[in-house]
A and B are shown apart, each in its own frame.
Chain A
Amino acid sequence: MIIINSENIDKVLWILRDAQKAVEATPIVLGRRQVGKYIIRLGSIGFLYNAVSELMERIVAASNMANRLSLKEYSVVVEPERTYITPERLPEIIPPLPRSKPVEPLAEPQAELNMWGCRDITPGYLKFCIGNVEIAYYYGVE
């Protein structure tokens, strides 16, 4: 459950927007990012993005409703299945949302080519070598 008091709504929305931007900026291929003490990996990113977006939508909808009802001081209560506003001043419950920071990029995968006994690669040729003889098949250069 998340409870936000009316005076902190803008601040929480900015923090969520910041988190959303951090998720958006995470490369998909090497999706790994540290948020606080958590490492978020590829696969979690989609869920996290949806969660942050949904939370923002619910808070914005709730605060719009409070404005229409001309409520000045209120609390927004976000539960898993529903969100509501109450004029009661409830103690805030906001999960810690530390600023994200990038983690060291993953090491490039190492690939070793089988040179088939040759010292080098010749563009356009598939070849193998025995001593100083190269047996090559020309497949062309694009």
Chain B
Amino acid sequence: MKSLRKVRVSSLNIDETIKRKLIEILGENEIVYLDIVDDRIRIVL
């Protein structure tokens, strides 16, 4: 697996609705891994 950037859920720069849902499920301090694939943002849990 290529190295991914570690990001706190609350710091994600994505659509607010999705971010709110992720915070609701994971909590705002949860660390996820971020990957940019072409024009998409991949959030790896």
Contacts and interface: CB of A to CB of B under 8 A. Distances in A.
A125 interface: yes
Contacts of B43: 133-136
B18 to A, nearest CB: 5
A134 B45 CA distance: 10
Chain B contact patch, size range? 10 to 19
Given A124-B1, A138-B1, A131 B42 contact: no
B45 A135 contact: yes
Binding site secondary structure of chain A: strand
Contacts of B18: 130-131, 133, 135
Q: Which 7 A-B pairs have the closest CB atoms?
A: A134-B42, A132-B40, A136-B44, A137-B45, A133-B41, A135-B43, A133-B14
B44 A132 contact: no
B24 interface: no
A136 B1 contact: no
Nearest to A118: B40
Interface in B1-45: 1, 14-15, 18, 22, 37, 39-45
B41 A134 contact: yes
B44 A138 contact: yes
A136 B45 CA distance: 6
Interface in A97-142: 124-125, 127, 129-138
A133 B1 contact: no
B5 to A, nearest CB: 14
Contacts of A130: 15, 18
Contacts of A129: 40
Contacts of A137: 44-45
